[in-house]
Homo-oligomer: A and B are copies of this chain.
Amino acid sequence: MKSATEVIATDLDLLSHQLRAEFDSLSGRSVLIAGGAGFLGYYLVQGALHWNRTHATQPPILVTVLDNFIRGVPGWLMALEQDPNLRLLKHDITQTLPAALGDVEYLIHAASIASPTYYRKFPIETMDANVNGLRFLLEYSLAQKQKGKPVEGVLYYSSSEIYGDPTRDSIPTPESYRGYVSCTGPRACYDESKRYGETLCVNFARQYGLPIKVARPFNNYGPGLKITDGRVIPDFARNILGGEDIVMFSDGSARRTFCYVADAVAGYYKILVKGGSGEAYNIGVETPEISMAELADRVRNSVTIRK
């Protein structure tokens, strides 16, 4: 069985290969990854820096991680601190962007509270990161255009949660499905701020001719997801590792698909570079759709095997 280090090394090689064309486009460009110290940042950042190392004859991709580092700088990012093509900017995305940002050509907004445990506790902070944080990036993009330094791509992380609870005949859910979502319920701070974020994106794209694209991820999992994240897979894993029974907060019948994060990151970079302006894209797998009860079984079995 492969070690975690081997798995990640293989993934990074694969990303460099799958994203040949996209990384070529990003070569020599400055890419801002807001929330780059988080789960999605793990492969977004390492993917680009790995490509730099393996394509030394081409101008490197310059990566700026902008993050509030609320839990400190994670170990994997600390290990990269000496990389000449990486810059860390400590900043709260809900505040005006720092002048130190300078000119960047690509922007990725991955600064969000995505775990239900946390967004229920911090609903207003969740909304502000999704909406006000996005707005600062959109206004930056507009200002860059006006000063003759147009950005080349903006990627907003929306969520499959914008669909809410689709009717059975809308699963798998096409991008054209409008969603069945409460705007006042306990999850609205997340779902509805992602939806309104999309509305901001498409209207800024249309009104100002900006290359803004939207990704709708379906449950990502894999390396970079902290065990304390509060989402379902790390929670189940934590139960098992702690020698406890898995604790389910429902009857276990809800069904979801899960997409390995390295595969999803390939999709995200494709959207950033090649996605249509003002367009939204599902990123996920269509099958298997499994119940939370089945997921618990899978986590139990895989953790047992590794002992």
11 new A-B contacts, CB < 8 A, other than A124-B203, A195-B196, are: A124-B204, A178-B181, A178-B183, A178-B185, A179-B181, A183-B199, A184-B199, A188-B203, A189-B203, A195-B195, A196-B199
**Is A8 an interface residue when CB atoms closer than 8 A count as contact?**
no
In the complex, the count of this chain's copies comes to 2
**Is A164 an interface residue when CB atoms closer than 8 A count as contact?**
yes
> Of all chain B residues, which has the CB nearest A184?
B202
Which of chain B's residues have a CB closer than 8 A to the CB of A199?
127, 183-184, 188-189, 192-193, 196
Which of chain B's residues have a CB closer than 8 A to the CB of A10?
none
What CA separation (Å) do A280 and B192 show in the bound complex? 16
A194: shortest Cβ distance to chain B, in Å?
8
8 A Cβ contacts from A137-171 to B? 162, 164
A178-B183, A182-B178 in contact; A123/B203 too (CB < 8 A)? Answer: yes
What CA separation (Å) do A189 and B206 show in the bound complex? 12
**Do most interface residues of chain A lie in helix, strand or loop, or is the interface mixed?**
helix
Which among B123, B124, B196, B278 is the interface contact of A183 at CB below 8 angstroms? B196
What CA separation (Å) do A182 and B177 show in the bound complex? 8
> Of all chain B residues, which has the CB nearest A178?
B182
What CA separation (Å) do A255 and B195 show in the bound complex? 27
**Is A250 an interface residue when CB atoms closer than 8 A count as contact?**
no
Counting chain B CB atoms within 10 Å of each CB, the highest count among A199, A200, A202 belongs to: A199
**Is A118 an interface residue when CB atoms closer than 8 A count as contact?**
no
**Is A131 an interface residue when CB atoms closer than 8 A count as contact?**
yes
Which of chain B's residues have a CB closer than 8 A to the CB of A200?
127
Which among B127, B179, B195, B207 is the interface contact of A203 at CB below 8 angstroms? B127
> Of all chain B residues, which has the CB nearest A122?
B207
What CA separation (Å) do A183 and B164 show in the bound complex? 12
What CA separation (Å) do A193 and B199 show in the bound complex? 8
Which of chain B's residues have a CB closer than 8 A to the CB of A196?
131, 183, 192-193, 195-196, 199
A259: shortest Cβ distance to chain B, in Å?
22
A162-B183, A184-B202, A192-B196 in contact; A207/B124 too (CB < 8 A)? Answer: yes
